[in-house]
Amino acid sequence: MTEQRRILVTGATGFVGRAIIARLQLEEGYLPVAASRSPLSPWGVVEQRLHDLEDPLALPILDDIQAIVHTAARVHVMHDSATDSLAAFRHVNVEGTVNLAKAAARAGVKRFVFISSIKVHGEQTSDGCPFRADDVPAPQDPYGISKHEAEGRLRDIEAQTGMSVVIIRPPLVYGPGVGANFRSMMRVLAKGLPLPLGAINNRRSLVGIDNLVDLIVASLDHPAAGGRTFLVSDGVDLSTTQLLRNLAAALGRPARLLPVPRPVIEAVARLLGRGAVAQRLCSSLTVDVSQTCTLLNWTPPVSQKSGLKATADYFLAHDHT
């Protein structure tokens, strides 16, 4: 019988955390341990441990943990109410991560997988120039800055303690149960409402939750993963217009997309105080995952078409708002 390795997953109530735990439950040799700020609702036989990144004294017990997947974070929000946004992000995403990593190293944890963000690289790419893992970071918002700083501190801890650190920087993540802007987009499409996004010729990388989780699981043991930083995507880049068309098809709805010129969209959005939203919808952000695929002998196991269909099916079955 294969010896089971205990894998602590922080942020266990989150979209990514839940998916990781569900996958680890199916993998032979792994025993997931869910870590969260508050007790979870009944969740099968998964062990639960409380933790709070904002309280260095409220760390989970780690003595029997072999690896950690750290997804918990203060996430990027559209309307941040914090007086000092960068300080708020640093408190959780940098100091909280450092506290956990130091405790993990002391407890003898062998590998620490940190889920960072493509925002470490910046907000957009030029045509034909995707982000690569070894590019010089250029974060532009407090969330991206905090993730970049956390990465640097983790590399310091790795050098000082020998604990293996793997960093993964995903772009937009979608999948069954996704929330935020992706869910809002599905709501609009499902209602058949028109959108002024029928002439956006950008390119965007995104990653299905199953593909992201597959890479995370691969990085837990792969000998080439330690000390590395990986980018991840579905391997297919789409324009915003094409994404909306594909998603509408998955929902079984017509895509009512008006061909409004990009400069008009951006000008109106700035007048309405929604310039950042227009920037994400209209600009390009692509990633090169060739290094990830080569070093880990990895390819995304789920096609983007299948991932979008699963996302749409879940939405249609569960979203009644």
What are the C-alpha distances in Å from 180 to residues 174, 214, 221? 10, 23, 32
User: Kind and range of the H or E element at 39?
Assistant: none
Q: Which residues pair with 34 in a beta bridge?
A: 9, 48
Structure-token pair, residue 281: 């919808």
What are the C-alpha distances in Å from 76 to residues 18, 81, 172, 239, 275? 19, 12, 12, 23, 16
Return the DSSP state at 222: -
Structure-token pair, residue 103: 């405790």
Q: Is 314 a catalytic residue?
A: no
Structure-token pair, residue 311: 């996302």
Contact yes or no for 176/307 (Cβ under 8 A): no
Q: Which residues pair with 48 in a beta bridge?
A: 34
DSSP 3-state percent helix, strand, coil across the chain (nearest 5): 40, 15, 45
Active site residues: 143
